């Protein structure tokens, strides 16, 4: 059984587990399945908006897909959520990613 199959099996038992959805998105991304990763990250944003780590990885994926404006918006939303949730580590990562993207655009 592959890691992805294991995660999907766990998800059947706990369909509302945000971490499992996140782990599946990460697994898809690592396997080069960007569209499937995108779908899973978007699911998390819609259904688990306080799962702050999603915003960083989704933003990075948007950059890979050439959607820099969408990535910037994602980072900005993530920064707001990180502040609301008191997620200092995620806040720092998101702010750095946003600044890097803005710097690259100049």
Give the integer Cα–Cα distance in Å for 29 and 38. 8
* CA distance between the termini of the chain: 46
Q: What is the pLDDT of residue 33?
A: 96
Hey, what domains does the chain have and what are their CATH numbers? 3-105 (1.25.40.10)
pLDDT tens sequence across 21-52: 999 999 999 999 999 999 999 999 999 999 99
- The model carries a pTM of 0.92
pLDDT tens sequence across 49-67: 999 999 999 999 999 999 9
Residue indicated by tokens 């998105």: 25
Give the integer Cα–Cα distance in Å for 36 and 34. 5
Give the integer Cα–Cα distance in Å for 55 and 33. 18
Q: What is the pLDDT of residue 105?
A: 66
Question: 43-46: long-range contacts (C-beta < 8 A, 24 or more apart)?
Answer: 44/18
């Amino acid at each position: 059984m592959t890691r992805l199959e294991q995660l999907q099996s766990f998800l059947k038992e706990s369909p509302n587990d945000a971490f499992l959805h996140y782990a599946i998105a990460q697994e898809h991304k690592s396997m080069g399945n960007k569209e499937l990763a995108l779908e899973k990250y978007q699911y998390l944003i819609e259904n688990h908006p306080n799962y702050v780590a999603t915003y960083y990885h989704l933003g990075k994926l948007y950059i890979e897909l050439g959607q820099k404006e969408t990535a910037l918006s994602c980072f900005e939303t993530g920064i707001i959520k990180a502040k609301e949730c008191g997620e200092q580590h995620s806040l720092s990562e998101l702010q750095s990613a946003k600044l890097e993207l803005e710097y690259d655009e100049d």
